[in-house]
Structures are given as C-alpha cells and as structure tokens.
Structure 1
Amino acid sequence: MPVNIPRELPARQVLEDENVFVMSTDRAQHQDIRPLRLAILNLMPTKIATETHLLRLLGNTPLQIEVTLIHMGSHSSRNTPPEHLEAFYTTFDRVRDQRFDGLVITGAPVEQLPFESVDYWDELVELLDWSRKHVYSTMHVCWGAQAALYRHHGVPKYQLDHKMFGVFDHDVLDPTTKILAGFDEVFPAPHSRHTEIRAEDIAAVPELRLLSTSPEAGVYLVGSADGRQFYVTGHPEYERDTLKLEYDRDVSRNLPIGVPHQYFPADDPGRSPRVTWRSHAFLLYANWLNHVVYQGTPYDLTQVD
C-alpha cells in the first residue's frame, strides 16, 4: 500500500530500505482516488521509533492512506526533538473539526498511574469522546486500550505482581470475526506492561466482545459489538530488538526485571532475539484496514457517526 507520508519523515528512509511502498504528497495528489484518512495519536516517548513501527504495519495493503500524526498538546515531550514535533505533528485542537476513516491510539509508559493522574488525561478524554463521532474505526493499543475501555465502558485495570514481559501465545476465540480473518488458531504477540484488564470485566459489558486471550498473558484483543472499536493489550508493532532494549535499560538501572518470555533463544540475553510475531502483526492491521475501515467507512466522511 502506498503510505502517504512527508518526504523528510525519518521513518520514510527506513521503510523504503525495507521495500515498503511509501508515497510523497505530490505523487498522491495525482491519483484520482480518495485515500483513507488515518490519524495516529502517538503517546509513546520514543515517537520516531513508534512512527516507524506503525507505518510499517500500515503499509501492507493496496489501499492508499493519508496519515496525520497527533501528539498531546497538554503534555511536554522530553524524548522527541521539538523540531520533529513541529515539522510532522499536529495537536488535537487543530484536528477536532476534522473526520477520519481510522485512528490508532498507542500505548504510553504511564500505566501504573491512576488514569486521572496522567497529566494529559483531560485532553485524552476529550479526544476519546470525539473519536466516537468523528472516526469510523479506532485501534487502541496497550495503555491506549486500557484508557479507552475505562473511559467508554468503565473497565478497570489491575496491577500485576510482575511485569508481563515477552512473547506469549494467544488463542483465537472467534475465528469468524473479520479482524482475525486468516489467523492461526494460536499465534504469538509481544507484551510489555505492569497492569492488566480481566476477561470477567469484559464479559460484563454487553457492548464488548472478547476475541483473543492468552493462557499466560490474559486478555489480548477486545472488539465492540458494532465491529468498529478494537482494543489490543499487547504490542504487535514491536520490532526485533524492542523488548531487548527495554530489558537492557531496566538491567542497567538495577530494576527488577526477568528475561523476556519466549524471546531470546534458550532464554539467553546474549543471543539475538527471534521474530515470531510479525506475520500476525501485519495481518491484524491489514484486516483492520481492509475488512473494517475500507469496507465500512462512508465515502463522504461527514456521514461518520
């Protein structure tokens, strides 16, 4: 798929080197089609890495996508150069009058705080409420999923005794759902979190459907009954070394951290990690874009409701 992103965005060169089809704005304007309008609310501190992770997955269908990157205006990012945010990002205030076919809300390293203690919570609540009327379908990831489930349905999160950290096997509970079309019955995906949501809380909400769980990592994928909202508790977008970098960081800080589950060969951190989850990560986002967003969104975005 041609992902329409600015020529100067750092992710562009990485994706071109991997033969991911990216397209400049000027070339896109010469195609006589309406691209899907997709927004990414990037809550991660390492925004440049997260952009690359997500754009790689979004570049795997024949659809043309116009991407808008959003950051929280009420939060000051310490890990991304201000020049990068100024050049490539916008804020919620600047897009609140717009409509989008799809929205991805990333995770954030704030999961051990109460939701209301996060410094941008009020702004995020406003954006979450706005998304129900201005976006056809939203993919919520990790803490973004927890925050949205809490805001929209009152689903709580719970502190874990130990960090859920590594690559875990997951079961497909409903193979007929479009978002899981073509998935194996059991598939791997990475997790990195200190909190969880629980299956019994999802089951208590009639508007939600539990789509995939893990015997060890618990709830993985939740969907809304209308098939437009999805909540992923893990990180299918992670690259080969993402968990390794987190592990090395915590070890260097003398933090209590175990070797990531089912990640290093023979659980040896001295060996290169194996990538076992990438095909299902691509399939998850391709299914979302093809079967949910493209097939469901109205041509006229003013009709999104």
Structure 2
Amino acid sequence: MRTSPESAGDILDAGAPGLARLIDLVQSLHTLGLESGCCVADVRARYDEERALSLPALADDAVTTRSLATSLGRRTDEQRRLLQQLDESWDGSAADRARAELTTTVRAGVALCASLTDLAVALESAATAIAAALREKARVVGDLAERAVDGRTRDEIDTIVAGASGGPHGPSPEEHARWFGDPPGSNVGDPPGSNVGDPAAECRRWVEERLVPAVRDAVAVVLGACEEAGHRIAGTVTDLATTTERVAEGAGVAVGASGAGTVAPVVDDGTMRHGPSDPPNQGALLTVPGIRPGERRREHASGPVEDDHRQDENDAGDAGVVLAEAGPL
C-alpha cells in the first residue's frame, strides 16, 4: 500500500517551536520598548510561504504519469508484435503502406512513452527536492527553540526578561548575584545578593547588551533559511517546468510524426522503458493511420469472399481491413 508523502505544512510544523520561541522574544523586546529589527507578522509569513505547496499532488501526478507510460509501453509492444506478424504474412504494395504507417505509429509510441517516463521522474524528483528544502529550513528554525544566550538557558532568559520589566518574576537575589555578580564596592563576606543595587536596571542592561543582538542574529538565521529554501525550491520548479515543456514538445512531435511517410523499421532491442506497474484499464487505444473506427470491429466473414468484393492489391483499403481483422491495436 502506497503511503502519502508529508505535506509542506507537516514539514514546516517541525520547525514551529523555534519560530514560536523567536516570536516570543521579539514581542518581549517590543514590550520593553527595544527594537528587534523585525516585524513578527513578516517573519511568520516568510516562514510559512510554502505551506500552500502540494507535495502529495506532485507525488500522485508522478504515479499517474508513470502508469500512463507503462500502459502505453505495453500497447506499443503489442503493436510491435503485430508489425512483426505483418512482415511474415503479407506482401505487396498495400502491405508496404500499412507497414510504414504502423512502424511510424510504433515509433511515436516509443518516443511518447520515453517522454512520459522522463516527466514521471521529474515529478518525483521535484517532490523529493522540495521536501528536502523545507526539512532543512524547519531544522534550522527549530534549533532556535532551546538556543542559549550568553550561557543563559531558555528559562533563565525568561526570568531576566521578567526582571527587566520590573515584574515580580525576575531573578532572586541569589540568581542575580550568580548571573551578574556583585556590583563594585560590595563587601567581601556579605550574603549573596545583599549588595544588589537596581535589579531591574541590571536585567535590562543584560537584555540590551546580550539578548537584543542574539535576537537579531536569530531573525537573520530564520530569514536566511527561508531565502535558501526559496532559492532551492524555485530552481526545482524551474527544472520541472523545463522538463514539462520539453516533454510536451516531444509529445507533439511524436503525435505529428504518426501521420508521416515511410520510416525505418523499429528494432525490438528490449530497451524501451516501462513503468513499474500497469494498472488495468489505463492508457488510450493508439490510432493506426488508415483504419476507420468502424473497421476495427469488423468480423470475419463466415464464408469465402466473393470476387466482386475483393480489391486490387494496390488499394490502400486492404491495409485497414487486414489490420482490423488482426484485432484491436
């Protein structure tokens, strides 16, 4: 059973804790009246800009395209066998015309099958490359969730930020002394924290000198990761578009060539590419030039053919009748 690939949103969710942590710090700085160098909404929008990409749709298109290539390959192989039977059982100018038309059709089928396989590979590669770019972005941003600043852990940073605002949840005297040290002029042997001057001012100084630059660096990390992912994804989409255009042009040439004149016979060297599976009832019936749709289902006559119903060997109608009687192509 084929499992569906992760969506772009699922991949980006892995980095959401780091983004949320950065946004919390930015909002805290803004509350303290300090400039972080970014807008929260802009950072969040930049990180989420690829959420609308549908990786499962790309993967499904790749599977469908490969199935079409498989079905077409099998149909072309069948026509190749009919062409070999035609070589062994029918001679004359009408046979030559039918052989040339069927050979051209087979060659067009081989070319179209190769083009569809190339497109399936391109779709698979695109889905894989885009997912890889998003995972790398999510990893880089996710690492910000527990990043320390100046040796301070996440919880310690939050305590210092609370202290900078003058709230009741700032550092204790012991924490203050351990993190910032006693101010100059304090007496040796005094209890830790007993000589603390203005705790809120010292916390704010640390925030300004240590946390603000760290937050700005983190913002740069996020934007850099977004820029790199966007560049990689844009390159992947460009490559896919180029392949699609080339396949479309090749398919048009192949279909157009199916009505061309005599070409060299197709050699069955076993190298034609098929997909890994051939789901039932897929693939359209290839039209063989020179055969009218009604003649495809013409039944064999129960008795001998009357002389006045026979056509001259040079009549192109014989090609349609004989190929129709050989069975659906």
Give the shorter-chain TM-score range. under 0.3
Greater per-residue strand proportion = 1
Greater per-residue helix proportion = 2
Q: TM-score, normalised by structure 2?
A: 0.19
Q: TM-score, normalised by structure 1?
A: 0.20
Larger Cα-atom Rg: 2
Structure number with greater CO (CA < 8 Å, separation at least 6) is 2
